């Protein structure tokens, strides 16, 4: 009897381990033979019977990705010629420009299920997949462009929108006779107009204050709210996992606003890749990961990095410059120098706290104090207690805005400000923003798509700047920047301590 009982217990323990493995595993590359097309566009990827595993390129001279506003005329001609050749390829060729654009649509619109968890759709936004996936995407796009013009040294430009000199649309993309042009770009956002992704400055035509507001957003999103890799890159997304969508700060701002501001094609996951400026935009998003590593001493082996194998072993499929369908893992793309490229060194004007100042919160003093959950049909305030527990050196204080619900077809967003009861000063803590999903899989009901997300922002610097104490009430203001009246619902707000 005892022997049978021990055997039964052993079986149960084994089953527990098996189930644990099922619900926590890396994202598996999709089965390209099983595509469920979007109603908005057929962006199924070209399939192949054979798949090869990615191998790092042999060492050689590093390609240097240049700032788009600093490139030479010779570079522009070379880039435009490569894109023209890509556009001229047969439509069914994996290198064809539209096939390249389909890659973004395919991985960002849920048309594939995971190969290792077929009941779960694949989506690379709003999680720790966002930055490494787009790095892979640009890597192969860049190599194909270089192959088409016979220049292995060719490197994509980066739209340097985080610096005042690069905040406008780079002029190389404004020539209507160039293959780099897209006729759906917003006419009122052409040079010399510059981005305004600081919503606290909306409607202000003063360029200097517009730049200042932009730099504040950059500092909060990239430095004070992003002290750990998971804060920067986003929360876990595992095959079979049930974690909520939790985008990182670098994805939240100014990334989606640049998409919306640029024009119609760029404002949708389905069509973003149709505009050549998409690749320059995401080249700068990729550069943000590299810049972040140097700002706080973050590196690929330090404590501020993600060492979770469910992240490192997540994989995707891309056509490479040798016309092979390649399986590549996140662990393959952690170091750009091993991939053969680096970024041109340019000033980083937002890298220290002078780029973000506390402000007078008097204008927000009359806002209604609400209980949660709440619909953000206007700006609201919530009181949240700071943890009484004293933080250790390696701990990070984080603000968690949870249960954010909205119709995924809408472009919605809100800014987060924090203050205290003993001070009239407030600080910008970060932003939540969602780019509208315009596609519907044919097997999904058309009545709407309720999406739930979580926003997590580092608070340690702001708490210190505001001189708040343990156990004190934090006053959190949520101010809609997009989607007012679109029924953005917030379920809870709290402050956690994380290591």
Residues marked as catalytic: 104, 125, 134, 255, 259, 269, 282
Neighbour tally for 81: CB within 10 Å: 16
Burial 321-355, CB ≥16 within 10 A → b, else e: beeebbebbbebbbebeebbbebeebebbbbeeeb
390 class by beta-carbon count within 10 Å (0-12 exposed, 13-18 middle, 19+ buried): exposed
Sequence-separated (6 or more) residues with CB below 8 Å from residue 6: none
Got the DSSP string for 169-236? PPGGG--TTSTT--TTB-GGGSTT------GGGTT---HHHHHHHHHHHHHIIIIIT--SHHHHHB--
CA 217/CA 227 separation, integer angstroms: 15
Stretch (H or E) spanning 63:
strand 63-65
CA 465/CA 463 separation, integer angstroms: 6
Phi, psi of 323 (to 5 degrees): 60, 40
Phi, psi of 83 (to 5 degrees): -70, -35
What are the contacts of 74-78 at 24+ separation with CB within 8 A? 75/157, 76/172, 76/180, 78/149, 78/151, 78/154
40 class by beta-carbon count within 10 Å (0-12 exposed, 13-18 middle, 19+ buried): middle
Closest of 331, 310, 286 to residue 141, by C-alpha: 286
Q: Pull the structure tokens for residue 227.
A: 């002290």
Which DSSP letter does residue 328 get? E
CA 114/CA 123 separation, integer angstroms: 10
CA 408/CA 161 separation, integer angstroms: 26
Residues paired with residue 427 on neighbouring β-strands, in sequence order: 418
Sequence-separated (6 or more) residues with CB below 8 Å from residue 306: 128, 229, 230, 233, 312
CA 259/CA 268 separation, integer angstroms: 8
């Amino acid at each position: 009897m005892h022997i049978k009982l021990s055997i039964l217990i052993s079986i149960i323990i084994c089953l527990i381990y098996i189930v644990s493995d099922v619900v926590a595993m890396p994202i598996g590359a999709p089965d390209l033979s099983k595509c469920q097309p979007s109603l908005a566009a057929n962006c199924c990827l070209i399939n192949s019977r054979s798949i090869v595993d990615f191998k790092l390129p042999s060492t050689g001279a590093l390609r240097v990705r240049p700032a788009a506003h600093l490139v030479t005329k010779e570079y522009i001609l070379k880039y435009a010629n490569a894109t023209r050749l890509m556009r001229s390829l047969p439509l069914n060729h994996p290198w064809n420009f539209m096939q390249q654009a389909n890659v973004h649509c395919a991985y960002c619109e849920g048309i594939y299920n995971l190969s290792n968890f077929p009941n779960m759709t694949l989506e690379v936004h709003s999680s720790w997949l966002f930055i490494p996936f787009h790095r892979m995407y640009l890597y192969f796009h860049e190599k194909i462009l270089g192959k088409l013009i016979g220049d292995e040294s060719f490197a994509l430009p980066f739209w340097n929108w985080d610096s005042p000199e690069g905040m406008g649309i780079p002029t190389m993309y404004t020539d209507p006779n160039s293959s780099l042009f897209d006729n759906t770009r917003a006419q009122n956002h052409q040079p010399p107009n510059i981005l305004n992704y600081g919503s606290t400055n909306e409607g202000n035509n003063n360029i200097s204050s517009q730049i200042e507001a932009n730099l504040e957003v950059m500092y909060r999103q990239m430095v004070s709210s992003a002290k750990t890799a998971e804060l920067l890159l986003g929360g876990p997304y595992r095959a079979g996992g049930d974690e909520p969508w939790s985008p990182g700060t670098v994805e939240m701002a100014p990334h989606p606003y640049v998409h919306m501001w640029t024009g119609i094609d760029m404002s949708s996951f389905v069509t973003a890749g149709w505009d050549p400026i998409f690749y320059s935009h995401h080249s700068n998003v990729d550069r943000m990961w590299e810049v972040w590593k140097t700002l706080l001493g973050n590196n690929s082996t330090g404590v501020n990095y993600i060492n979770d194998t469910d992240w490192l072993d997540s994989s995707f499929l891309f056509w490479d410059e040798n016309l092979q369908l390649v399986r590549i893992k996140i662990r393959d793309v952690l170091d750009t120098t091993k991939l053969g490229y680096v970024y041109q060194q340019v000033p980083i004007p937002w890298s220290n706290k002078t780029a973000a100042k506390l402000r007078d919160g008097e204008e927000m003093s009359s806002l209604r104090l609400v209980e949660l959950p709440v619909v953000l049909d206007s700006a609201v305030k919530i009181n949240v207690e700071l943890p009484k527990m004293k933080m250790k050196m390696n701990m990070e204080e984080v603000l968690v805005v949870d249960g954010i619900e909205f119709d995924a077809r809408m472009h919605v967003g809100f800014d987060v400000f924090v203050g205290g009861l003993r001070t009239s000063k407030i600080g910008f803590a970060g932003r939540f923003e969602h780019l509208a999903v315009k596609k519907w899989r044919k097997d999904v009901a058309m009545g709407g798509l309720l999406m739930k997300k979580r926003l997590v922002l580092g608070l340690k610097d702001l708490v210190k700047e505001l001189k708040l104490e343990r156990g004190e009430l934090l006053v959190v203001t949520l101010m809609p920047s997009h989607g007012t009246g679109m029924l953005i619902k917030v379920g809870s707000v709290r402050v956690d301590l994380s290591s």
